[in-house]
Amino acid sequence: MAQELKMSKEQYAAVHILRCAVLKTEPEPEYLKGCDPGKILAFFRDHKLTAFVAPVIQNCENDSIFSEYIKEKFRSEKLNAIRINLLLDAERKKIFSLFEENNIEYLPMKGCILKDLYYEYGTRQMGDIDVLVKNEKASACKEIMEKEGYIPESFGEIYHDEYNKPPFYTFEIHRALLNTKDKARVSYYADIWDRLMPVSEGSLEYRFSASDFYIFHIMHALIHFESHGTGLRSITDEFFLLKNGDLDFDYISHELGSLGAAEFEKKLRSLTIRLFDPQNDEAGLSDEERYLLEFIVASGAYGNASTTVISRLGINSDSGKLTGFEKTKYMLSRIFTIPNLYRRRFPILYKLFITRPIILAIRLFDAVTKSRSRVNAELDALSRM
pLDDT at 363 over 80: no
pLDDT at 154 over 90: no
Question: What's the pLDDT at 316?
Answer: 46
Tell me what the mean pLDDT of segment 194-209 comes to: 95
Q: Residues near 235 by Cβ (< 8 Å), separated by ≥ 6?
A: 268, 271, 272, 275, 296
Euclidean distance between CA atoms 175 and 318, whole angstroms: 40
Question: What's the pLDDT at 122?
Answer: 93
pLDDT at 359 over 90: no
The SS3 call for residue 147 is helix
Q: What are 308-338's pLDDT values in tens digits?
A: 545 555 544 444 456 666 667 666 666 666 6
pLDDT at 80 over 70: yes
Question: What's the pLDDT at 356?
Answer: 82
Handedness of CA 182, 371, 109, 239 (dihedral sign): positive
Q: Residues near 345 by Cβ (< 8 Å), separated by ≥ 6?
A: 157
By the 10 Å C-beta count (0-12 exposed, 13-18 middle, 19+ buried), 63 is classed as exposed
Handedness of CA 33, 37, 41, 46 (dihedral sign): negative
Measured in degrees and rounded to the nearest 5, phi and psi for residue 197 equal: -125, 135
CA torsion angle 63 69 71 72 (round to 10)? 150
Q: Over pLDDT 90: what percentage of the chain?
A: 58
Tell me what the mean pLDDT of segment 232-247 comes to: 93
What long-range pairs does 109-112 form, CB within 8 A, spacing at least 24?
109/174, 109/177, 109/216, 110/220, 112/88
pLDDT at 366 over 80: no
| Residues paired with 160 in a beta bridge | 174
Q: What are 102-123's pLDDT values in tens digits?
A: 999 999 999 999 999 999 999 9
Question: What's the pLDDT at 68?
Answer: 93
Question: What's the pLDDT at 78?
Answer: 96
> Which ranges of the chain does DSSP label H, i.e. alpha helix?
9-23, 29-32, 37-46, 50-58, 68-101, 111-114, 138-147, 183-188, 192-195, 210-227, 233-244, 249-258, 262-275, 287-299, 305-313, 324-335, 340-345, 347-351, 356-369, 372-383
Euclidean distance between CA atoms 138 and 161, whole angstroms: 8
Question: What's the pLDDT at 47?
Answer: 93
pLDDT at 195 over 80: yes
Which range, of 27-36, 263-272, 333-342, averages the lowest pLDDT?
333-342
Tell me what the mean pLDDT of segment 126-138 comes to: 94
Average pLDDT, the chain: 85
Tell me what the mean pLDDT of segment 371-377 comes to: 58
Question: What's the pLDDT at 267?
Answer: 94
Question: What's the pLDDT at 358?
Answer: 86
Q: Which amino acid is at 284?
A: G
Question: What's the pLDDT at 160?
Answer: 85
8-state DSSP, 242: H
Q: Of the ranges 149-163, 311-325, 364-378, which is most confident? A: 149-163
Which range, of 97-106, 109-118, 270-279, 375-384, averages the lowest pLDDT?
375-384
Q: What are 135-152's pLDDT values in tens digits?
A: 999 999 999 999 999 999
pLDDT at 170 over 70: yes
Greater confidence, 370 or 197? Answer: 197
Question: What's the pLDDT at 283?
Answer: 66
Q: How confident is the model at residue 279 (pLDDT cuts 50, 70, 90)?
A: confident
- What are the DSSP calls for 46-103, one per residue? HTT-HHHHHHHHHTS-TTSS--HHHHHHHHHHHHHHHHHHHHHHHHHHHHHHHHHHTT
Handedness of CA 32, 34, 35, 37 (dihedral sign): positive
Domains within the chain, CATH numbers bracketed: 91-180+192-207 (3.30.460.40), 323-385 (no CATH)
